[in-house]
Structure 1
Amino acid sequence: MSQQRILTILLNYRTPEMTLQAAEAALREMEDLPGELLIIDNGSGDGSFEQIRAGAEARGWLDSGRLRLLASPVNGGFGAGMNIGLQAGLADGSAPEFYYLLNSDAFVQGGTIRTLRDFLLEHPGAGLAGSYVRGTDGEPHRTAFRFPSIAGEFEASVRTGIFTRLLKPWVVAMDMPQGEVQVDWTAGASLMIRREVIEAAGGFDETFFLYFEETDLCRRAARAGWRTHYVPASEVAHIGSVSTGMKGWQRTPQYWFDSRLHYFTKNHGRAYAAAATLARISGSLIYGLRRLIQNKPQADPPHFLRDLCLHSLRALIAPRRSPSSETRLPSPLAKEQK
């Protein structure tokens, strides 16, 4: 029987001190687990790689044989960075039995990594398993989701109880599960993946710079016959949106709109994508009316509806062509420091 090795991939973008803290927690959990930790600096360009290397060397990690560092020359986004790790594999050139994806602002608690691995070992049809994620303030973060849909887009934007109840089967963010449950997709902040899933479904689609990349990967895995599960017995503390600044967005970035449109177009076609956008706009207009009448709070970043409409019009006039090899695993361009 194989050793059931785990390659933990920790992606850094301009958060070197936090990455070292996340690495320390992961290494502590992996002391009695076969495998390695791979830290990838995703083209930070701010000295992060050098700071991480110095910190790892000072802690004696580089001599342990359990940690490697890679530096990507460019920031291609979350999926592109993780693909570098998926392509790199273990130090001996072999592929592990499991890949564990971990955010630089996520800190494993207790036996998180072992729990996720053992869950997949005990459930042969399960291909991906995600954790219960809580903020450092103790508040739970929703990480159990349904796939986005036209109805889900309307419900997310209308923000009205009667529609949420009517459209419950399509609400993207599920009610917080109290136990293990099969889900459509789960967040990549703490995600264990079988090697066979990557072999069958491919790596991340690098057309997504940020957002929707895990959703797309879980959908492709499902089409290949692999289930995704939420496993609350595994836990991580997550600060959230440190690299992206999402919590403080004053304007929704272009890449979010690009990723959303690509997800719907790729998986459902242009007509469905257009209908999903119309549903989102309709829901936003209804909520906007409620804001005027009932003094409801602003829910989206400033100018969100205008930006969504303009993005949709530009896409209609000059649709972007997606790369032909969307789910490719890249050639190893990164430089390595053992």
Structure 2
Amino acid sequence: MIVSARISIVVPTSFRTDKVRKSVRSVLAQSMPDLELIVVNNGQPPAVASSILGDITDARLRVVTLHRNSFFCAPVNHGVSVSSAPYVATLNDDAWLAGDWAENVLSTFERNPDAGSVASLIIQANDPTLIDSAGSHVDLWGRASNLLWGAPLASTPGSPSPVFSVSSCCAAYRRASWDAAGGLDEDFTAYLEDVDLGFRMQLMGMTCLFEPGCRAYHYGSGTPTPSAYKAFLIERNHVWNVVKNFPSALLRRRALPIMKAHSRPVVLQNGSSLGSFLSGKAAAAVLSRRMLRKRETVQRSRRISVSALEALLMPTAPPVCKL
């Protein structure tokens, strides 16, 4: 444990990509040195981790091992649970940080005491003239996507702005906010887990701030996920996000449009999948009782009005779901 660490950065990885070395090195090269880096070995033998990271030695680096591949949510929660700093961050193993990222994140939190999380400007590594994410949004019907995905980098807002939630690819949280909201919901496995956590934070009155000075770069698909399974998770988790987080008054008011919006497959980058749509919605229904139990806790914690929440939701849906 790094006693003086001001921020703990968690990188879950299955060590199936050579990009994880670049990710790790970018954290250790930050202009603000008082941090800790927790690499969560997600189900690979320790020897695999050693062979890939063996020549990267730094007292701030810890590798913790899970004995089976738990995808994203569980490794991140585990990494945060063994970390020590008052701020925590998540970073994909196929993403890396600009050198002043941590410094800018902490200064953003210090200037904005009501912010529970900070969203980064994530740039497409394969084409650095394009944006990968400027935070995430949810529309009035519960559909989510990354903000400004595919937009020219030159269109980046010049100043901080409120957004609905971070993108877990590169996200920062106050530990107190993370703990109060309960961290990532491991039932989500992966995809929309960041939106779910962001939704809970918004309901509790915590804001999320996009800071264009906090820059990261992302390749995408660094940890292979079969596209059909990804589509399945997105279809299922979209339903769970609505069931768990939408207040009753909003559900009653928009019940028919919400059901209509979720009655057709989500359009992903590589198209839509009828099979994944059907299996995802079926899985959402089968396990809906579990989400309804969680809903009781989430809605009891709500501190903002339904009208204030509704004002945060986007009035238009994204043409393509990029998560």
Q: TM-score range by the shorter chain?
A: 0.7 to 0.9
Letter in 1 for 2:289: R
- Higher mean C-alpha deviation, range 183-192 or range 137-146: 137-146
Letter in 2 for 1:143: A
CA distance in 2, matches of 1:236, 1:34: 19
1:180 counterpart residue number: 160
2:54 counterpart residue number: 57
Q: Relative to 1, partners in 2 of residues 1:129 and 1:315: Cα closer, same or farther, differing over 3 Å?
A: closer
2:244 counterpart residue number: 266
Secondary structure of 2:173's match? strand
The answer to whether residue 72 in structure 2 is matched with residue 104 in structure 1 is no
Secondary structure of 1:65's match? coil
2:78 counterpart residue number: 84
Q: What is the count of residue pairs matched by the alignment?
A: 281
Letter in 1 for 2:223: S
Match of residue 312, structure 1, among 281, 300, 319: 281
How many angstroms does 1:226 deviate by?
1.6
- Structure showing greater radius of gyration is 1
CA contact (8 A) 2:116 2:207 kept: yes
CA distance in 2, matches of 1:320, 1:210: 17
Letter in 1 for 2:261: A
CA contact (8 A) 1:265 1:273 kept: no
How many angstroms does 1:12 deviate by?
0.5
CA distance in 2, matches of 1:303, 1:140: 22
CA distance in 1, matches of 2:212, 2:218: 14
1:211 counterpart residue number: 191
Within 5 Å, give how 1:1-338 maps onto structure 2.
Answer: 5-29=6-30, 32-43=32-43, 45=44, 47=45, 49-59=46-56, 61=57, 64-89=58-83, 95-136=84-125, 137-138=127-128, 139-150=130-141, 153=143, 173=147, 176-245=156-225, 249=227, 253-268=231-246, 275-281=257-263, 301=270, 304-305=273-274, 307-309=276-278, 311-312=280-281, 315-316=284-285, 318-322=286-290
Secondary structure of 1:216's match? helix
Q: Relative to 1, partners in 2 of residues 1:277 and 1:244: Cα closer, same or farther, differing over 3 Å?
A: farther
CA contact (8 A) 1:251 1:302 kept: no
Gaps of 5+ in 1: 90-94, 157-170, 285-297, 328-338
Secondary structure of 2:289's match? coil
How many angstroms does 1:309 deviate by?
4.5
Letter in 1 for 2:72: F
How many angstroms does 1:274 deviate by?
7.5
Write the deviation string for residues 209-255 of structure 1: whole angstroms up to 9, x where unpaired. 11110001111112222210111111111101221457xx3675422
Secondary structure of 2:54's match? helix
> Which has the higher relative contact order, 1 or 2, with Cα contacts under 8 A spaced 6 or more apart?
1
How many angstroms does 1:14 deviate by?
3.8
Gaps of 5+ in 2: 298-323
CA distance in 2, matches of 1:307, 1:252: 8
Q: Relative to 1, partners in 2 of residues 1:127 and 1:4: Cα closer, same or farther, differing over 3 Å?
A: farther
CA contact (8 A) 1:281 1:305 kept: no
Letter in 1 for 2:179: E
Write the deviation string for residues 134-179 of structure 1: whole angstroms up to 9, x where unpaired. 11221211333322432x64xx9xxxxxxxxxxxxxx973585342
How many angstroms does 1:280 deviate by?
4.2
For the aligned residue pairs, the C-alpha RMSD in angstroms reads: 3.2
Write the deviation string for residues 176-208 of structure 1: whole angstroms up to 9, x where unpaired. 534210111121111111111022111111110
CA distance in 2, matches of 1:37, 1:283: 38
CA distance in 1, matches of 2:27, 2:187: 29
Secondary structure of 2:64's match? strand
CA distance in 1, matches of 2:36, 2:196: 26
- Higher mean C-alpha deviation, range 74-83 or range 253-262: 253-262
